[in-house]
Amino acid sequence: HTLYIAKDYSAIAVGADEVAFAVEKEAFLRNIPIRIVRTGSYGLYWLEPVIEVELEGGKRIAYGPVTEEAIGSLFDSGFLEGSDHPLCLGNLQEHPYLKKQTRLIFERIGKNDPLSLDSYMAWGGFQGLKKAIELGPDKVIDQITKSGLRGRGGAAFPTGIKWKTTKGAIASQKYIVCNADEGDSGTFSDRMVMEGDPFLLIEGMAIAGFAVGADKGYIYLRSEYPLAHEILNKAIAVCRSQGILGSPLFGSSFSFDLEVFLGAGAYVCGEETALLESLEGKRGMVRPRPPLPAVKGLWGKPTVINNVITLASVPWILSHGGEAYAAYGVNRSKGTLPVQLSGNLKYPGLVEIPFGISLRDLVYGFGGGTRSGRPLKAIQIGGPLGPYLPEHLLDIPLDYEELSKIKGIVGHGGIIAFDDQTNLAHMAHYAMEFCAEESCGKCTPCRIGSTRGMELMEKILMGKGSRKELELLFDLCDTMLHASLCGLGGMTPFPVLSALRHFPEDFGYCKEEIC
């Protein structure tokens, strides 16, 4: 009997390791031979820990959420033969949460052992890289440009242009840097890819290296992801031993190698120039631009910096063609986005979906509304510095430009939901506090502004805010918005201003005062 249980940090956090151990123990006591394959998670997190049992013919039946206490009754019921136990979820692939998705990046995740190269190959792995080598660097960049892929880390910069710039730069050495410093609250798609399908990221980086002429890559990984660290290092070792990394690739003269670099826990190192400083062994501080990292990046050499999801989208684009990718999505927002649902939602998890779906469909159709059962008050999209969008704005489509019309951002695709008991003034104060804590200190609007902003908001929250404090807060936000050197200081006003605009009563003001 083969069973599949996720070895993914979110699944482990709710007991997947203990469940796997208990299943093994119970099978041993009952003298039943079993094989447990630890996989990535499908991202239906309210159902974890999930056990999938493979039946004859390869069909799988899932059970969840499984507790250690339920193991005995699962065996008694004959779950290894697909029994109708109360925890039976049926075939997960038929579950509407999965069935309604368009999984291009997450196609394999959850189904197999992330470190099995055979399984990766069997599911079409390295076809994108082979195709890239067949096409040659210029045509690879053409395909990426045609796909309309934009940076999924938050900046949404066209990937094709970035690659073209680095390819065109003349230098003896170039680099590919993967930004895996996934620091936004409510985001976990990068982690899921690194833990659940590490070869996909390696393939994406190798394609990028081939396209721009970089033979060396780094994955800048946040230190809070120890499991991803372990899995990535093992995957790199497998690729080296199989001649995929560090040797000429698939009959070409090009070879690529990469290593993982652990960050030290600063949010600002998600900003690409601060990341480069950190990678060079210096304190993570933002560099002024120009020069662009694409021309003068790591150790002064041309460097492509893309985030995990951007690079993980590349193999699919190469093996299916840029136009096939661009057929998904709307307007200038092409392809799919792995949206991460969390906060006060009934069904938190990972939803990979083409752009164009409404936020309402994501929050209610997938997320199932609030877990508390109370009315939804707002969502925050785009990380800790994303704005709060009230319930009545949820009909807006997931689209970079449409969202920016209502002062929203897509960011890294994290959506956090709040019910009507949340005070958004307190949440907005947290944004200022976060900025004060994480500011790299290079520019005044952010370094001083965030601390003064925090003090000002504390005064308002204590009921001591008059018209004067309000004007001062608007003034301060305006300075931070327009004069900060990077997005950390420049975006901190987003939650503050959106909370003030949509929920003035949480600050003790009335609507007219805000206008």
Furthest-apart CA atoms within the chain: distance in Å: 76
Beta strand pairing call for 336-343 and 60-63? unpaired
Determine contact, residues 355/334, Cβ cutoff 8 Å: yes
- Structure token pair of residue 357: 């779906």
Nearer to ligand SF4, 363 or 440 (CB): 440
| Contacting ligand SF4 within 441-480 (CB under 6 A) | 441-443, 446-447
Q: Which range binds ligand SF4 by CB under 6 A, 292-300, 344-352, 420-428, 484-492?
A: 484-492
Query: Which residue, chain included where needed, has tokens 């390295």?
Result: 126
The answer to the question of residue 484 lying near ligand SF4 (CB under 6 A) is yes
Nearer to ligand SF4, 221 or 268 (CB): 268
- Quick note: the x/- pattern for ligand SF4 over 281-320, rule CB under 6 A, is -----x----------------------------------
Q: Which range binds ligand SF4 by CB under 6 A, 30-38, 60-68, 91-99, 440-448?
A: 440-448
Closest approach of ligand SF4 to the CB of residue 296, in Å = 18
Element holding 450 (H helix, E strand): helix 444-459
The answer to the question of residue 103 lying near ligand SF4 (CB under 6 A) is no
Closest approach of ligand SF4 to the CB of residue 49, in Å = 39
Closest approach of ligand SF4 to the CB of residue 273, in Å = 9
Determine contact, residues 366/138, Cβ cutoff 8 Å: no
Closest approach of ligand SF4 to the CB of residue 272, in Å = 12
**List of residues 6+ apart from 65 with CB closer than 8 A:** 14, 46, 47, 48, 49, 50, 87
Which of 40, 114, 489, 493 touches ligand SF4 (CB under 6 A)?
A: 489
CA pair distance 454, 100, nearest whole angstrom: 42
Which of 318, 440, 460, 476 touches ligand SF4 (CB under 6 A)?
A: 440
Between the CA atoms of 243, 245, 247 and 249, what dihedral angle is there, to the nearest 10 degrees? 90
Beta strand pairing call for 349-354 and 303-307? unpaired
The answer to the question of residue 486 lying near ligand SF4 (CB under 6 A) is yes
Size of the site for ligand SF4 (CB under 6 A): 14
Nearer to ligand SF4, 197 or 438 (CB): 438
Peptide bond into 49 cis (omega under 30): yes
The answer to the question of residue 101 lying near ligand SF4 (CB under 6 A) is no
Nearer to ligand SF4, 277 or 352 (CB): 277
Q: Which range binds ligand SF4 by CB under 6 A, 26-34, 84-92, 384-392, 482-490?
A: 482-490
Nearest 5°: CA angle at 307, between 383 and 161? 115
- Structure token pair of residue 441: 């200190």
Nearer to ligand SF4, 5 or 485 (CB): 485
**Burial classification of residue 375, based on how many CB atoms lie within 10 Å of its CB (0-12 exposed, 13-18 middle, 19 or more buried):** exposed
Nearer to ligand SF4, 25 or 482 (CB): 482
Which of 27, 141, 144, 268 touches ligand SF4 (CB under 6 A)?
A: 268
The answer to the question of residue 496 lying near ligand SF4 (CB under 6 A) is no
Asked whether the CA dihedral 286, 292, 294, 300 is positive or negative, the reply is: negative
Closest approach of ligand SF4 to the CB of residue 431, in Å = 13
Nearest to 353 by CA among 270, 416, 410, 417: 410
Residues near ligand SF4 (CB under 6 A) = 268, 286, 439-443, 446-447, 484-486, 488-489
